[in-house]
């Protein structure tokens, strides 16, 4: 009998040895490997954003970016139930704030209830700042520098958008051709790129109209409600100059009834025979977003609900005048790093800086249009520069969860010629 | 393609006789080697197909076999009960010798090709043992402290041997070195060392260690060893540059690789058998004039691909895990035999599947 027990145990050991040969391939790449759950995964336990409102007109036109950030922080603490003293670092992406926003963002964190022991930095990688913030925090957790952190973004384009946001170029920089290209305005170079890459206005208008239509549909179905944290702010009525207190719970840039035909009537903004106009470019907007990141083992220990995981990011440089091709350059790199095929990805959130560049990237990569920005994009609800990267995380994860899908990519082009992309998995 | 059914026994290893081009040995186990008897088959290749000339039954599963280099009728079997058994096919029923020293399953046996009076065994107990067929006890025990799936003598030197184990390391032992604290261990190469980064391709980062299941010495280039295992990659190493990482990396298998073996005829060609039920033929890209294949789109390329090697063909007839494969030493280059958990031994010409 004892012998038989020994036999059974030996068989069990041999079986587990063989099964470890089949499953124990942690170096394995591709979709299957991505879906595996490991204790050292970097996971997201809460991702949210304020509504995004129209610059100069919308609900946040009189709200400072640090106040928007404060709103995102307090909502994050409330929703996740995280003990603020456990958060070790916060990174905030922002583009326009003078001095990088470093001072007021640290103050916003303290005001939101984080103790003095929670550190805070601001960073600026142009339009990908929000994503860079999340990636910086994820990497710091991966490297063991911190255990829990927040990647965030905040931008008040109403108050801080304008020529003062760019320093005058020196003679040295002006004298270098490629360097001088870095200050060509986005609209102008995108116009040139649309022409060079042969993307007709009709296509751009069609793409822009569909972004509006998708966003309208999503808003009507309440698909943004889960990711949005409503914010109560002071707002000055432009007609009466009366200061009111309002609660903003919706993106107010989303307009109904937009069609390719109605967009076709708008005058081009950058040159007479151009193709880019206010209706097929991203809106100027205000908003904030925040993403709570930690290791899976930490989340399990704290009982935090895991909504997704961060897998990998990529960043690449492209010629400054072709900055719009950024996603087309960055997405293949991140797919290669993770061993994914383009069809393994269920949803692509590609920032719609301009319909022209987004369309170019989709065509260049040969992506299925159905998979790109299913709830619309920056053309419909706005592109608060430093926020977008962090905003895409909540937009992506809620949509993946709703549709029962798994793998998503967020990406955007970056002024001065770069592209960034990241792979996320919903759980 | 010739086929033989090892009914009731799942194949674990097949070896061509070094003396006869028509004789094969197959180590097989009942119940997939989990529990039950083992059987070593002696198969003859005849004009009427494959016939079993003889078989020996054992109490426990058999995981590997190797022919004696000194005696045409003798062969070794590696047993799950920790024993190494020597059979003589002119005798019936029982082994002529059984060495019982290993504490756990013996997973590899290999005869020394140069000094033909010694052989080795490796085991899940974390040791490699060197034996003389005439001695009743092992001559040397080399610890690896890790489940050792595969060990082999160099075909070029009587005193150099190697092993790979579940700790993802390739170890080289030289018995001429003094048996000091390091137990003849001269090199300990991490198999998961990422290849050097190259222009135009993202550097592979964070390649994690994974169990190594098999390896083989190149028959022509005396410093080249191929390894493979759970991470599905076949790698070649040059033991003159142990810190340089792999010389070639060959991705393609969809599950763990159970066996690699270099061609006895061509210095750049190797065969593999895998849990993905295929046997594949590869060139490691080192043959003169093979050059590097042109990479059309670097972005689509697997960053682990290295050395210009490629898969030249695959045999897909097995319907369960392919576990053993071996080259015929004689006749036209390309004849080989394979076995697997589908209870089948197949003899085939790999030139027929190459493209």
Q: Distance between CA atoms of A21 and B147, rounded to whole angstroms?
A: 13
Choose, out of B102, B192, B210, B303, the residue to mutate when testing the contact with A (most A CBs < 10 Å): B210
Q: Distance between CA atoms of B270 and B283, rounded to whole angstroms?
A: 6
| pLDDT over threshold 80, residue A389 | yes
Sheet of B49-58: strand order equals: B10-16, B23-29, B38-46, B49-58
Q: How confident is the model at residue A224 (pLDDT cuts 50, 70, 90)?
A: very high
A317 to chain B, closest Cα gap in Å: 13
Chain B CB contacts of A20 under 8 Å are: 211, 230
What is the 8-class DSSP label of residue A252? S
pLDDT at A30: 73
Q: How far is CA B77 from CA B39, B55, B94, B143, in A?
A: 9, 12, 12, 21
Q: Distance between CA atoms of A308 and B335, rounded to whole angstroms?
A: 51
Domain that holds residue A100: 39-159+208-426
A347 to chain B, closest Cα gap in Å: 20
| pLDDT over threshold 90, residue B288 | no
Q: How far is CA A123 from CA A66, A119, A134, B157, in A?
A: 14, 13, 11, 61
CB B37 within 8 A of CB B89: no
Chain A CB contacts of B229 under 8 Å are: 21
Q: How confident is the model at residue A97 (pLDDT cuts 50, 70, 90)?
A: very high
CB A296 within 8 A of CB A44: no
What residues of A are labeled active site? 127, 383, 413
pLDDT at B295: 44
The count of other CB atoms within 10 Å of the CB of residue A197 is 16
Comparison of pLDDT for A167 and B266, the residue scoring more: B266
Nearest CA in chain B to A29: B231
Q: How confident is the model at residue B310 (pLDDT cuts 50, 70, 90)?
A: confident
The count of other CB atoms within 10 Å of the CB of residue B151 is 28
B129 to chain A, closest Cα gap in Å: 21
Q: Where are the alpha helices (DSSP H) in A54-128?
A: 65-80, 102-112
What pairing do the DSSP bridges indicate for beta strands A53-54 and A89-93?
A: unpaired
Q: Per-residue pLDDT averaged across B54-83, rounded? A: 96
| pLDDT over threshold 50, residue B299 | no
pLDDT at B205: 65
Comparison of pLDDT for A12 and A325, the residue scoring more: A325
Asked if A336 and B34 come within 8 Å (Cβ–Cβ), the reply is no
3-state secondary structure of A218: helix
pLDDT at B8: 95
Q: Per-residue pLDDT averaged across A177-182, rounded? A: 92
Q: How far is CA A265 from CA A202, A205, A254, in A?
A: 11, 10, 19
Asked if B299 and A333 come within 8 Å (Cβ–Cβ), the reply is yes
Share of chain B above pLDDT 90, in %: 79
The answer to whether residue A151 is domain-embedded is: yes
Asked if B231 and A22 come within 8 Å (Cβ–Cβ), the reply is no
The answer to whether residue A319 is domain-embedded is: yes
pLDDT at A20: 83
A337 in contact with chain B, both atoms CB, cutoff 8 A: yes
Residue reference for tokens 């004039």: B289
| pLDDT over threshold 50, residue B294 | no
pLDDT at A27: 47
Q: Per-residue pLDDT averaged across B33-41, rounded? A: 95
Chain B CB contacts of A7 under 8 Å are: 35
A7 in contact with chain B, both atoms CB, cutoff 8 A: yes
Of A27, A336, A337, the CB nearest to B210: A27
The answer to whether residue A197 is domain-embedded is: no
DSSP H/E element including A138: helix A129-142
Mean pLDDT, chain B, rounded, equals: 90
Backbone angles phi, psi at B5, to 5 degrees: -100, 120
Nearest CA in chain B to A330: B299
Share of chain A above pLDDT 90, in %: 81
The answer to whether residue A182 is domain-embedded is: no
**What ipTM was reported for this prediction?**
0.82
Comparison of pLDDT for A392 and A183, the residue scoring more: A392
Q: What is the pLDDT of residues A23-40, one digit of tens each?
A: 754 445 677 778 888 888
Mean pLDDT, chain A, rounded, equals: 92
> Please, which residues have CB within 8 angstroms of residue A420's CB and are 6 or more apart in sequence?
A125, A128, A131, A132, A313, A314, A315, A316, A326, A330, A389, A411, A412, A414
Partners of A146 in the β-ladder: none
CB A85 within 8 A of CB A115: yes
B141 to chain A, closest Cα gap in Å: 24
Count of structural domains, chain A:
1
| Nearest Cα to Cα of residue B212 among B194, B195, B198, B192 | B192
pLDDT at B297: 41
Q: Distance between CA atoms of A81 and B90, rounded to whole angstroms?
A: 77
Residue reference for tokens 């569909």: A210
pLDDT at A31: 79
pLDDT at A250: 94
| Nearest Cα to Cα of residue A44 among A309, A427, A278, A318 | A309
What is the 8-class DSSP label of residue A343? G
| pLDDT over threshold 60, residue A3 | no
The answer to whether residue A179 is domain-embedded is: no
Sheet of B212-217: strand order equals: B212-217, B224-229, B234-238, B248-250
| pLDDT over threshold 60, residue A154 | yes
Q: What is the pLDDT of residues B225-271, one digit of tens each?
A: 999 999 899 999 999 999 888 999 999 998 999 999 999 999 999 99
pLDDT at A26: 45
Q: How confident is the model at residue B333 (pLDDT cuts 50, 70, 90)?
A: confident
Q: Look at A4-13, A65-74, A345-354, B239-248 and tell me which has the smallest mean pLDDT.
A: A4-13
Q: Distance between CA atoms of B37 and B58, rounded to whole angstroms?
A: 6
Which CATH number characterizes residue A267's domain?
A: 3.40.47.10
pLDDT at A16: 84
Q: How confident is the model at residue A12 (pLDDT cuts 50, 70, 90)?
A: confident
The answer to whether residue A305 is domain-embedded is: yes
Q: Look at A105-119, A158-172, A246-260, B10-24 and tell me which has the smallest mean pLDDT.
A: A158-172
The answer to whether residue A243 is domain-embedded is: yes
pLDDT at A181: 92
Asked if A14 and B275 come within 8 Å (Cβ–Cβ), the reply is no
CB A11 within 8 A of CB A209: no
pLDDT at B198: 62
pLDDT at A276: 92
Asked if B210 and A15 come within 8 Å (Cβ–Cβ), the reply is no
The answer to whether residue A56 is domain-embedded is: yes
pLDDT at B309: 84
pLDDT at B61: 96
3-state secondary structure of A135: helix
Comparison of pLDDT for A183 and B107, the residue scoring more: B107
Q: Per-residue pLDDT averaged across B44-53, rounded? A: 94
pLDDT at B304: 67
| pLDDT over threshold 90, residue A164 | no
| pLDDT over threshold 50, residue B291 | no
- Rounded to 10°, the helix A355-365/A186-196 angle is 40
Q: What is the pLDDT of residues A301-311, one digit of tens each?
A: 999 999 999 99
pLDDT at B199: 58
Q: Look at A295-299, A311-315, B110-114, B304-308 and tell me which has the smallest mean pLDDT.
A: B304-308
| pLDDT over threshold 90, residue A215 | yes
Residue reference for tokens 């993202």: B202
Q: Look at A22-31, A321-330, A366-375, B292-301 and tell me which has the smallest mean pLDDT.
A: B292-301
């Amino acid at each position: 009998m004892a012998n038989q027990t020994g036999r059974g145990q030996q068989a069990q050991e041999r079986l587990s040895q063989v099964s470890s040969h089949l499953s124990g391939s942690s170096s394995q790449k591709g979709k299957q490997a991505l879906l595996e759950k490991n204790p050292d995964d970097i996971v997201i336990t809460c991702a949210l954003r304020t509504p995004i409102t129209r610059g100069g007109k919308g609900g946040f036109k009189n709200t400072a970016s640090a106040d928007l950030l404060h709103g995102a922080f307090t909502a994050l603490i409330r929703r996740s139930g995280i003990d603020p003293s456990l958060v070790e670092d916060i990174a905030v992406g922002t583009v326009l704030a003078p001095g990088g926003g470093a001072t007021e963002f640290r103050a916003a964190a303290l005001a939101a209830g984080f103790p003095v022991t929670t550190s805070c930095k601001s960073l600026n990688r142009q339009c990908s700042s929000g994503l860079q913030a999340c990636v910086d925090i994820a990497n710091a957790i991966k490297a063991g520098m911190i255990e829990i952190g927040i990647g965030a973004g905040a931008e008040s384009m109403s108050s801080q958008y304008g020529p003062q946001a760019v320093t005058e170029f020196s003679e040295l920089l002006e004298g270098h051709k490629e360097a001088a290209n870095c200050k060509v305005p986005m609209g102008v170079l995108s116009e040139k790129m649309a022409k060079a890459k042969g993307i007709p206005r009709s296509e751009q208008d069609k793409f822009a109209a569909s972004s509006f239509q998708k966003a309208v549909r999503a808003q009507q179905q309440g698909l943004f409600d889960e990711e949005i944290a409503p914010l109560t702010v002071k707002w000055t009525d432009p007609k009466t100059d009366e200061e009111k207190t309002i609660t903003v719970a919706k993106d107010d840039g989303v307009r109904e009834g937009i069609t390719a035909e109605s967009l076709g009537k708008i005058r081009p903004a950058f040159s007479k025979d151009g193709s880019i106009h206010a209706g097929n470019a991203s809106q100027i907007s205000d908003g904030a977003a925040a993403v709570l990141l930690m290791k899976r083992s930490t989340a399990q220990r704290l009982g935090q609900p895991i909504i997704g995981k961060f897998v990998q990011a990529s960043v690449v440089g492209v010629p400054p005048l072709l900055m719009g091709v950024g996603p087309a350059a960055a997405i293949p790199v991140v797919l290669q790093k993770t061993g994914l095929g383009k069809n393994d990805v269920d949803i692509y959130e590609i920032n719609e800086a301009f319909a022209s560049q987004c369309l170019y990237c989709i065509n260049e990569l040969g992506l299925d249009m159905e998979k790109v920005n299913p709830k619309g994009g920056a053309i419909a609800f706005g592109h608060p520069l430093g926020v977008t990267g962090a905003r895409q995380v909540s937009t992506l994860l809620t949509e993946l969860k709703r549709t029962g899908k798994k793998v998503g990519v967020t990406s955007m082009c970056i002024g001065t010629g770069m592209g960034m992309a990241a792979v996320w998995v919903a759980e | 393609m010739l086929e033989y059914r090892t009914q009731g026994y799942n194949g674990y290893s097949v070896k061509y006789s070094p003396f006869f081009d028509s004789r094969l040995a197959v180590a097989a186990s009942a119940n997939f080697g989990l529990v039950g008897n083992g059987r070593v088959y002696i198969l003859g290749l005849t004009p009427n197909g494959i016939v079993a000339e003889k078989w020996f039954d054992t109490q426990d599963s058999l995981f590997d076999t190797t022919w004696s280099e000194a005696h045409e009728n003798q062969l070794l079997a590696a047993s799950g009960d920790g024993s190494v058994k020597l059979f003589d096919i002119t005798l019936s029923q029982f082994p002529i010798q059984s060495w019982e020293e290993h504490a756990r399953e013996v997973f590899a046996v290999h005869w020394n090709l140069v000094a033909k009076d010694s052989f080795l065994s490796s085991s899940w107990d974390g040791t490699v043992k060197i034996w003389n067929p005439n001695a009743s006890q092992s001559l040397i025990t080399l610890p690896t402290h890790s489940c050792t799936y595969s060990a082999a003598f160099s075909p070029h030197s009587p005193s150099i041997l190697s092993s790979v184990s579940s700790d993802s390391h390739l170890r080289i032992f030289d018995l001429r070195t003094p048996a000091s604290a390091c137990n003849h261990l001269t090199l300990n190469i991490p198999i998961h060392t990422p290849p050097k980064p190259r222009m135009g391709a993202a550097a592979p980062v964070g390649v994690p260690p994974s169990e190594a299941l098999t390896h083989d010495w190149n028959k022509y280039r005396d410093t080249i060893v191929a390894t493979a295992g759970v991470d599905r990659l076949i790698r070649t190493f040059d033991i003159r540059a142990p810190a340089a990482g792999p010389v070639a990396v060959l991705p393609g298998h969809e599950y763990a690789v159970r066996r690699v073996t270099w061609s006895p005829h061509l210095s750049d060609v190797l065969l593999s058998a895998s849990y993905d039920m295929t046997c594949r033929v590869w060139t490691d890209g080192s043959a003169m004039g093979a050059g590097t294949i042109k990479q059309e789109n670097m972005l689509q390329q697997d960053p682990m691909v290295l050395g210009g090697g490629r898969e030249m063909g695959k045999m897909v007839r097995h319907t369960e895990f392919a576990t053993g494969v071996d080259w015929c030493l004689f006749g036209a280059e390309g004849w080989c035999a394979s076995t697997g958990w589908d209870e089948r031994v197949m003899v085939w010409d790999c030139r027929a599947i190459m493209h």
